[in-house]
Amino acid sequence: MEKSEPGLFDILCAQLEQREAETLAPRAALTKDGLRRNPEQRADEGYRQSFSLDVDRILHSRAYTRYIDKTQVFYLIKNDHITHRVLHVQLVSKIARTIGRFLRLNEDLIEAIALGHDIGHAPFGHEGETFLSELCQEHGIGPFLHNVQSVQFLDKVERGGKGWNLCLQTLDGILCHDGEIHNQYLHPVTKMGFDDLERDIRAKLEDPAVQLIPMTAEGCVVRMADTISYIGRDIEDAIRLKLISRDQIPRECAEILGETNGSIVHALVTDIIRNSANGTEISFSAYISDALKKLKQFNLENIYLHKKVKANSATIHKLFRHLFEKFLDDFQKQRRDSAIFTSFLRGKDEAYLTGHRDAEIVRDFLAGMTDHYFLRQCPEEMQPKPAL
């Protein structure tokens, strides 16, 4: 059989890969190196490049759609201008791509990691994560961690349990994003395959405090951008809700980073580009890193632990337990009219059902809920009232 002549898109894709090789930095992840768990499905990519296709798949996932009604920090509030999870991931993507452009990294991979990094967050933010983790451990399936759950959704829950067959580099960046951990610098750690991803997941579940490092510079940038995107934005939201005033921001932080979200983002992005342009690490300078660490502590003490933010914690805690036990009982007793069957398990692949324990299925269902859907599953008399 004669070899067919390359078509238009073959030529264009070859040109794009050549342009990557010529313009991206030596440490950048190249499209041609994108590694999928099921390489035989690579033909599904068509003419789209690997990491760009990952972006499309994440954007079109059902879990991504549910970002729009998931808590970032503040929940049960009557204010349409407070950050929700969907805006947060968009801000992370924009900030990370700006850094990546100046460092000549792969912006498609950055966007895929950024848009997917929080897809496993439970309703009601980090409080919901804590409550769900407690229940998961009680039922013998280990802690609930939103970064591990993000991989779980994209790899094993979406598409009826078949997953999206995303690239290793994308899933690794999502797993390792850990924006709550403070780092002055990050250096990518070489990983060869999906066995490394599974090893990292096991390590994180065995010890949630273990620090995982991304395998790509792009993953390191997203991890830094996660912090950059929320630190000043949370301050602005807290000021808008009258939880703090601007003059409470520590002077030693304000003098270095500024006292508005815009100035904070600009200072941090400028510093990370300046300190990462000519080395192998993605890095803040020491004095900027120190100011950022102090500002994160300020946010913890004055915003995240504020009594008004925590006003409904006990009620939300009870509701998580109520729903977990209810849906576990519904599943085990095969009540087919229950929402766990009608809204979650309908159309699920048999491999998903046989590959997960009962409590893991309930975990996946609860973790995927939006705030409002979660509350709609609860008796009206148990539902909390807005505190802000």
Q: Strand pairing partners for 71? A: 84
Arithmetic mean of pLDDT, 88-99: 97
**pLDDT score of 5:** 63
Instruction: Identify whether 388 is part of a domain.
Output: no
Main-chain dihedrals φ then ψ at residue 331, nearest 5 degrees: -70, -45
Domain count, the chain: 2
What span, in angstroms and rounded, lies between the C-alpha atoms of 67 and 294?
29
* Measured CA distances, 330 to 310, 323, 325, 336, 339 (Å): 30, 10, 9, 8, 9
Is the same domain home to 13 and 149? yes
**pLDDT score of 42:** 54
Q: What is the 3-state secondary structure (H, E, C) of 314-339?
A: HHHHHHHHHHHHHHHHHHHCCCCCCH
**pLDDT exceeds 80 at position 270:** yes
Last residue of a domain, one of 246, 270, 304: 304
Instruction: Identify whether 146 is part of a domain.
Output: yes
Ramachandran quadrant class, 125 (left: phi over 0; alpha: psi -120 to 50; beta: rest):
left
Q: How confident is the model at residue 381 (pLDDT cuts 50, 70, 90)?
A: confident
Q: Are 224 and 99 in contact (CB under 8 A)?
A: yes
**Greater pLDDT, 133 or 73:** 133
Is the same domain home to 175 and 285? yes
Last residue of a domain, one of 304, 322, 339: 304
Is the same domain home to 116 and 135? yes
Is the same domain home to 42 and 153? yes
Is the same domain home to 24 and 49? yes
**2 burial level (CB within 10 Å; 0-12, 13-18, 19+):** exposed
Q: How confident is the model at residue 213 (pLDDT cuts 50, 70, 90)?
A: very high
Q: How much of the chain exceeds pLDDT 90, in percent?
A: 80
**181 burial level (CB within 10 Å; 0-12, 13-18, 19+):** middle
Q: Strand pairing partners for 283? A: 185
- The reported pTM is 0.94
Q: How confident is the model at residue 179 (pLDDT cuts 50, 70, 90)?
A: low
Token pair for 114: 């950024």
CATH number at residue 92: 1.10.3210.10
Arithmetic mean of pLDDT, 239-243: 95
**pLDDT exceeds 50 at position 60:** yes
**pLDDT exceeds 90 at position 178:** no
Is the same domain home to 210 and 168? yes
**pLDDT exceeds 70 at position 139:** yes
Instruction: Identify whether 3 is part of a domain.
Output: no
Is the same domain home to 326 and 242? no
**206 burial level (CB within 10 Å; 0-12, 13-18, 19+):** exposed
**pLDDT score of 1:** 42
Last residue of a domain, one of 304, 333, 355: 304
Is the same domain home to 284 and 218? yes
Residue 84 per-residue DSSP state: B
What span, in angstroms and rounded, lies between the C-alpha atoms of 112 and 46?
18
Instruction: Identify whether 271 is part of a domain.
Output: yes
Is the same domain home to 271 and 376? no
Strands (E), 239-320: 282-283
Arithmetic mean of pLDDT, 277-296: 95
**Greater pLDDT, 11 or 3:** 11
Q: How confident is the model at residue 80 (pLDDT cuts 50, 70, 90)?
A: confident
Token pair for 354: 């046989």
Instruction: Identify whether 297 is part of a domain.
Output: yes
Is the same domain home to 256 and 334? no
Q: Are 272 and 105 in contact (CB under 8 A)?
A: no
Token pair for 374: 């979660």
**pLDDT score of 341:** 97
Is the same domain home to 236 and 153? yes
- 14-57 pLDDT, tens per residue? 888 899 989 999 999 999 999 999 876 555 567 788 999 999 99
Query: Domain range for residue 221?
Result: 9-304
Q: Which residues of 360-379 are buried (b: 16+ CB within 10 A; e: fewer)?
A: bbbbbbbbbbbbeebbebbe
